[in-house]
């Protein structure tokens, strides 16, 4: 051992510096690895005791959201299930009630309606007499549903990946905007509706479902809007975590790898049958 140190000290200074740097870097990597391993070995938290008795899950009617809802119910959390299809919501609610002794509530909310022009909050303030937009109603229903409940966990899972495998100019902008409404506007709106209760109780966890398309790879061509919307989710989560850390609220962005269920396996040629191409995608828009 001493011999090894002597040999090292007899080397050129640049070599010694590089060796020390290398050793420090390796030690840092090993420490990080060990801390991750320690996390894996830790017993799972009792979510109900740590955060609260209820969880809100968006998009619980299929895929990842359904699995999350079933798992949270298995862990003993009551559920507020938020989705657009009343029949599917009823289905999942009954499945949970039959298998677990937890309570469920359902909130019908088409997240693609969030931030539609008629639902603009400023327009709402100035034209009080105008009829309420379905989106207003849905947010109100969600706020009412969570009011007074000890909501400890919010899972922002609902998200859309279609239109997929298409160039930006090939699809009507409205289709991209719908995707943005669900993937980022609705996620923001739902979080804003659930957070006040968590702040009041001084505890809570917000779990946002991101995607490897924005984190694991440098670009995701033909899924540009989807990947960009998921980058929003990741950055939103990072900043929100810092913003609410002192209020006892944890925020996490889970970067899901690709799962098989419900994943579109569209070829570009198939995609155009679902999302008709614009008549003349290259036509320039005249300045107004
Ligand atoms: N699957 C993957 O490989 C993968 C990979 C990375 C990230 N993700 C992300 O993980 C999340 C779930 O993905 P998934 O594959 O499990 O999706 P999925 O099976 O298609 O389920 C999506 C859920 O969101 C709901 N939803 C869609 N549009 C909605 C709207 N306008 N209003 C209300 N609810 C709406 C769906 O309701 P309906 O049942 O009524 O359609 C469904 O419950 C998404 O955020 C997705 O971006 C998935």
The residue to mutate among 58, 61, 64, having the most atoms of ligand 1 within 8 angstroms of its beta carbon, is: 64
Instruction: Show the beta-strand stretches assigned E in 51-170.
Output: 54-58, 78-83, 104-108, 151-156
Contact 84, 104 (CB under 8 A): no
Nearest CA to ligand 1 atom 13: 64
The residue to mutate among 110, 114, 116, 159, having the most atoms of ligand 1 within 8 angstroms of its beta carbon, is: 159
Q: The domain containing residue 180 runs over which residues?
A: 46-274
User: How large a percentage of the chain has pLDDT more than 90?
Assistant: 71
Q: Give residue-wise pLDDT tens across range 246-270.
A: 999 999 999 977 776 555 444 454 4
**Catalytic (active site) residue 226:** yes
pLDDT at 206 over 80: yes
> For residue 78, what are the β-bridge partners?
54
Residue 242 covered by a domain: yes
Domain count, the chain: 1
Contact 150, 47 (CB under 8 A): no
Higher-confidence residue: 222 or 3?
A: 222
* Residue 182 DSSP label: I
pLDDT at 118 over 90: no
Mean per-residue pLDDT, 43-52: 92
Residue 58 covered by a domain: yes
Q: What is the pTM of this model?
A: 0.83
Q: Give residue-wise pLDDT tens across range 126-181.
A: 455 555 677 788 999 999 999 999 999 999 999 999 998 999 999 999 999 999 99
Residue 184 covered by a domain: yes
The pLDDT value recorded for residue 270 is 43
Ligand 1 atom index nearest CA of 59: 43
Residue 160 covered by a domain: yes
The pLDDT value recorded for residue 197 is 98
The pLDDT value recorded for residue 42 is 85
Residue 32 covered by a domain: no
Residue 1 covered by a domain: no
Q: What is the CATH number of the domain that holds 115?
A: 3.40.50.720
Question: Half-sphere exposure of residue 149, counting CA atoms within 13 Å on the CB side?
Answer: 25
CA distance linking residue 229 with residue 161, whole number of Å: 10
Burial class (CB within 10 angstroms; exposed 0-12, middle 13-18, buried 19+) of 237: buried
């Amino acid at each position: 051992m001493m011999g090894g140190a002597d040999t090292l000290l007899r080397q050129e200074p640049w070599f010694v510096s590089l060796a020390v740097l290398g050793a420090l870097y390796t030690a840092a990597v090993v420490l990080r690895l060990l801390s991750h391993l320690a996390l894996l070995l830790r017993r799972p938290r009792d979510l109900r005791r740590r955060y609260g008795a209820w969880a809100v899950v968006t998009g619980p009617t299929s895929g990842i959201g359904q699995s999350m809802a079933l798992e949270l119910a298995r862990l003993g959390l009551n559920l507020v299930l938020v989705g657009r299809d009343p029949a599917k919501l009823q289905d999942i609610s009954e499945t949970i009630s039959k298998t677990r002794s937890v309570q469920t509530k359902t909130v019908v909310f088409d997240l693609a309606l969030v931030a539609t022009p008629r639902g603009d909050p400023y327009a709402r303030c100035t034209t009080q007499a105008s009829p309420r937009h379905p989106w207003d109603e849905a947010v109100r229903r969600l706020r009412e549903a969570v009011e007074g409940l000890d909501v400890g966990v919010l899972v922002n899972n609902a998200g859309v990946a279609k239109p997929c495998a298409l160039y930006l100019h090939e699809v009507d902008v409205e289709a991209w905007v719908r995707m943005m409404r669900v993937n980022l506007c609705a996620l923001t709106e739902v979080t804003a509706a659930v957070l006040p209760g968590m702040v009041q109780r001084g505890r809570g966890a917000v779990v946002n479902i991101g995607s490897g398309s924005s984190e694991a790879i440098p670009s995701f061509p033909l899924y540009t809007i989807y990947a960009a919307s998921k980058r929003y989710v990741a950055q939103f989560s990072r900043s929100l975590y810092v913003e609410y850390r002192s209020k006892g609220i944890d925020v996490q962005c889970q970067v899901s790898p690709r799962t098989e269920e419900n994943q579109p396996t569209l070829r570009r040629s198939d995609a155009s049958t679902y999302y008709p191409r614009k008549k003349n995608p290259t036509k320039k828009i005249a300045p107004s």
